[in-house]
A = this chain, B = another copy of it.
Amino acid sequence: MAAVRLERIHHVGYVVEDIDAALPVYRERFGMDVQVRETLPEQQVEAVLLGSGPGHVELIRPTAPDGGVARFLERRGPGMHHVAFSVPDLAAALDELAAGGAELIDRVPRRGLGGHLVAFIHPRSSGGVLTELVEAHE
């Protein structure tokens, strides 16, 4: 099987009901600042990227009742939603994964939070955990 090398965790994504209510603990207890705050209409979410170093927390809340994140929140409650690894060349990583038979939610990179290129691997092909790849420009 063709392998990509997932060496760095870019962020962990948490679903929350209310971003503003969730922020103080990260800011005041964990020393993380808001780096990006954005609404992603095609994902039906509002999201915030927090951090003070290379490892980030992404907070996500649904902006519509029928998107995937809204369904997750209804079914599972708030909490960990996905894990994102940095890769140097996302398009090449997706080609490798597809060649190895992985089921990809995004076969080609798309624009994610903060303008990074991102793509999601289906949990069926990533050990049951929703896994994102990020080509971060930082």
Knowing A80-B83, A83-B12, say if A125 contacts B53 (CB, 8 Å). Answer: no
Most buried by B among A11, A14, A30, A126: A30
Chain B contacts of A5 at CB under 8 A?
Answer: 30-31, 52-53
Which residue in B1, B8, B129 is a CB contact (below 8 Å) of A80?
Answer: B129
Q: What band does the interface of chain A fall in when counting residues whose beta carbon is under 8 Å from B?
A: 35 or more
For the complex, give the distance between the alpha carbons of A3 and B8 in Å: 24
A78 near B128: Cβ-Cβ < 8 Å: yes
A97 near B29: Cβ-Cβ < 8 Å: yes
Can you offer 8 A-B residue contacts whose CB atoms are under 8 A?
A3-B31, A6-B30, A6-B31, A8-B54, A9-B9, A76-B76, A79-B128, A80-B83
Q: Interface residues, chain A, CB within 8 Å of chain B?
A: 1, 3-9, 11-12, 14, 16, 22, 25-26, 28-32, 51-57, 76, 78-80, 83, 85, 97, 100, 102, 125-129
